[in-house]
Amino acid sequence: MFGGKGKLRVDAGHVHEDRRGGDSLDLPESEAMTAESIDSTRDHAGASFLHRPRAQLDYRLTASFVHTARDTYYGSSMDPNAYGSSENPLWVLDGQVNRYGRNRILSAGVQWTSDHLEDAQPAYERFTDETHRNFGVYAQDDWSIARGVQLLYGMRADKQDALESLHADAWPLRGQRRRRQPAVSGGWTAFVTIEFETERLKRRRSHDEDNRHSFDGRISRSSRHVVLDEERRRASC
């Protein structure tokens, strides 16, 4: 793809989990004195495109989607209403560009996420229907300043709509409907990391990198210190 300088990766998966606790496991949950159960499914799909137009430049574009659904029961004394359900779709889009110098890698990227949650537990009169979106940008410099010494520094800024204005609950004038005014909140983070590597570990890492394809090696190294990598988040779910 793209003259052998591009790489497309697509993955998908499905996970199903069914757990049951309490007493009278041979009976339905609502016929037991104490019972709890979770029946959950998780479906995910993603695509990642890596392209290296020049020896000193590459970029990555990634899109991923995860949908989690759960049916639950938490109750006692044969409660017929202690059932609940939830759905949680999550979208993540991000991109990163890397510029390679003689002894440093400059990286910059953007990331957008949309996280929606619908949760209902009628027995406890608990209902949730929320969507949170976040947009972030970051930049970093991975610099080999001396033999065995690595300096990593950068900054990330985020803008998210999870909060509402403190004035949202102000009472309206007579004849007007009460409205909630959305607000935008966000923040930024700066970081500095220094790594020290012994000569023995350096020789071993160099040997391992020599055995890899040059393009894959560059991508692997450039992704080593990504500020917020969605692949780590999916792996920890």
Nearest C-alpha neighbor of 161 from the set 137, 179, 135: 135
| 7 beta partners | 50
Question: Does position 143 have pLDDT exceeding 70, yes or no?
Answer: yes
Question: Which comes out higher in pLDDT, residue 143 or 202?
Answer: 143
Look at residue 1 and tell me if it is in a domain. no
Burial (CB < 10 A; 0-12, 13-18, 19+), residue 19, is: exposed
Average pLDDT on 44-73 reads 94
* Encoded tokens for 209: 């990198």
Where residue 186 falls among pLDDT bands split at 50, 70, 90? Answer: low
In a domain, residue 12? The reply is: yes
Q: Give the structural domain span for 65.
A: 6-173+182-236
Point out the least confidently predicted range of 16-30, 121-135, 173-187.
173-187
In a domain, 93, yes or no: yes
Asked if 59 and 74 count as a contact pair (C-beta separation under 8 A), the reply is: no
Residue 168: the pLDDT is 32
The enclosing domain of 28 has a CATH number of 2.40.170.20
Mean pLDDT (the chain, rounded):
76
Q: How many domains does the chain have?
A: 1
Structure confidence by residue, pLDDT tens digits, 146-168: 877 888 888 988 888 865 433 33
In tens, the pLDDT along 211-235 reads 444 334 333 333 344 334 444 444 4
- Domain-located, residue 147: yes
pTM of the shown model: 0.65
> Does the residue 30 lie in any domain?
yes
> Is 61 within the bounds of a domain?
yes
